[in-house]
Structure 1
Amino acid sequence: MENAVYDAIVSANQLLEKQNIIANNLANISTTGFKEKFHYILEKNSTENKQDAYNTIIKEYYNVSPGILNYTQRNLDLFVEKDGWFVVKDINGEEAYTKNGHLKINSNGKLTIQNNEVIGNHCDINIPNNAQLRISSDGVISSIFKKKNNSVENKIGELKLVKIPINSLIQKENGFFYLNKKYDNFHHKNRLIPHDNNVRIKSGMLELSNVNAAQNMIEMISNARQFETQMKIISISDKNAEYANQLININN
């Protein structure tokens, strides 16, 4: 009976965790560049020991398919192809990676994504006042000034673009991705990921979230029903234990 209760508790905890992930997916259905997240049970230990029931190993993984493209015609809206990522500096000064290419210029003339400074390829990117920008497919940023009937184009920087498989990344609460420790230690030993000249971007479009709303809603309903079942198992087990104790007291 005790094993049944512990199994039900473990299952209920796992279902709650799945519900949190699904709720986060649905909350980010309109977040640019957001990648749908799931998790699965990698290993479940024996429940012969009560405490072993909580040693379930859960792995997270991401839906790697691209989201629908939104053609904005805005020159600072960028889409990075395939395994390519934009690089920003988070509030702790650490490199972080994102598919969100909605760039803005802050009051200091810096390019930002979600208020985090965009990192350049071996350069600081400073945007001149009143400059019209053009960003080429390889990430080179040029300023265009019109002088009478002519246009003068000057290179002012280059975006740092990296190529990383999404399964080598973990997402933190700030919404950005970071290298997981195993990938970082094996491939780079805590060094920064270098710029990749083969990564290509497209201007005037944004990659939307790839969350499948219908699928997530179905899974949320299914998880809720399974959770209710586990709660019933716990309740029935408690009642059976109570009845058993009453019988023992009567017999005594």
Structure 2
Amino acid sequence: MDKALYIAMTGARASLQAQGTVSHNLANADTAGFKAALANTEAFPVHGPGHASRTAALHVDQGFDARAGAQRVTGNPLDVSLHPDRWLAVQAADGSQAYTRAGNLALTPNGQLVTAGGRPLLDPQGNPIALPPHQALEIGHDGTLSIVPLGQGADTLAEVGRLHVVQATPDRLVRGLDGLMRSADPAQPPPPAAGAVLSTGMLEESNVDAAGALVQMIQLQRQFEMQVKVIQRGDDNAQAANTLLRLGG
């Protein structure tokens, strides 16, 4: 009976872990460029003495949903929407290079170009991008950064840098705990993307299906309750069996 309790416990644990994944998706339903995390369970045979009849439930991280989110026109010159399989290179907290499709960019008071989450954008040389003082900024479809210097006319528009945009299919990327993507093979970073890589004045929204995620949460909650009931019934049966054994003794 104790074996049945452990098997039911693995199912309850997998349901809780899946619930956490769905909750994380819902929390990012309004996050620009967010890709919904995918989770599933698989059968895991339990090895050991005796007949091989026990199979536990194992939570499996299946990566992320690569479908593009809806496009929203904002008119903001700092908003960019990446073309399919294109990713902005940013500097992660540990200094390494990571990738994101969150195109709602911002400028810090010292002119550094960052994501909405505060991660510095990188240029093709891997350096954080800092712009000189300017009165207008234009981001080209190929990622070039051009400005009109303070006090100058529009005819003085000059290129001062370029966003580092890479090309990578979803199977070549893995999501880190910080929500940023990284190359599945650190020895082979994604190559730079050529040509038109983005559109300006618009954002790619999160691809999370909020209604579907809510339904999934309800289903997982019911699964968890059912698994807990199995554990409770198993414990009740074990106590009843122990009582009978004591009486029989």
The normalised TM-score by structure 2 is 0.89
Change (3 A) 1:17 1:238: same
Change (3 A) 1:121 1:4: same
Change (3 A) 1:86 1:211: same
Give the secondary structure class of the aligned counterpart of 2:8. helix
Paired letter, 1:122: Q
Q: CA deviation at 1:7?
A: 1.6
Match of 1:7 in 2: 7
Return the alpha-carbon distance in structure 1 between the equivalents of residues 178 and 126 of structure 2. 25
Given that 1:162 and 1:194 are in contact with CA atoms closer than 8 Å, whether structure 2 keeps it comes out as yes
Q: CA deviation at 1:150?
A: 5.5
Given that 1:101 and 1:206 are in contact with CA atoms closer than 8 Å, whether structure 2 keeps it comes out as yes
Q: How many residues are treated as equivalent by the alignment? A: 244
Q: CA deviation at 1:145?
A: 4.5
Return the alpha-carbon distance in structure 2 between the equivalents of residues 251 and 148 of structure 1. 99
The Cα offsets for residues 129-157 of structure 1, whole Å up to 9 and x where unpaired, read as: 13311111110111125878762121101
Choose the corresponding residue for 1:131, options 128, 132, 135.
135
Give the secondary structure class of the aligned counterpart of 2:155. strand
The Cα offsets for residues 17-76 of structure 1, whole Å up to 9 and x where unpaired, read as: 0000000001111111111111123552246669x8568362322111111111110111
Paired letter, 1:230: Q
Query: Structure 2 stretches of 5 or more lacking a match?
Result: none
Return the alpha-carbon distance in structure 1 between the equivalents of residues 44 and 147 of structure 2. 57
Match of 1:106 in 2: 108
Return the alpha-carbon distance in structure 2 between the equivalents of residues 230 and 21 of structure 1. 19
Choose the corresponding residue for 1:96, options 95, 98, 103.
98
Choose the corresponding residue for 1:214, options 186, 211, 216.
211
Q: CA deviation at 1:196?
A: 1.8
* 2:177 aligned with 1:166: no
Give the secondary structure class of the aligned counterpart of 2:223. helix
Given that 2:78 and 2:105 are in contact with CA atoms closer than 8 Å, whether structure 1 keeps it comes out as yes
Paired residues for 1:79-94 under 5 Å: 79-94=81-96
* 2:58 aligned with 1:56: yes
Q: Could you say what the CA RMSD is over the residues aligned between the two structures, in angstroms?
A: 2.3
Return the alpha-carbon distance in structure 2 between the equivalents of residues 226 and 92 of structure 1. 39
Change (3 A) 1:245 1:68: same
Return the alpha-carbon distance in structure 1 between the equivalents of residues 158 and 175 of structure 2. 36
Match of 2:235 in 1: 238
Change (3 A) 1:94 1:152: same
Match of 1:40 in 2: 40
Return the alpha-carbon distance in structure 2 between the equivalents of residues 63 and 13 of structure 1. 23
Give the secondary structure class of the aligned counterpart of 1:217. helix
Q: CA deviation at 1:123?
A: 7.0
Paired letter, 1:219: Q
Match of 1:225 in 2: 222
Match of 2:122 in 1: 119
126-135 or 208-217, which deviates more: 126-135
The normalised TM-score by structure 1 is 0.88
Given that 1:43 and 1:57 are in contact with CA atoms closer than 8 Å, whether structure 2 keeps it comes out as no
Identity rate, percent? 28
Given that 1:71 and 1:204 are in contact with CA atoms closer than 8 Å, whether structure 2 keeps it comes out as yes
Return the alpha-carbon distance in structure 1 between the equivalents of residues 223 and 17 of structure 2. 13
Match of 1:77 in 2: 79
Q: CA deviation at 1:162?
A: 0.5
Given that 2:133 and 2:150 are in contact with CA atoms closer than 8 Å, whether structure 1 keeps it comes out as no
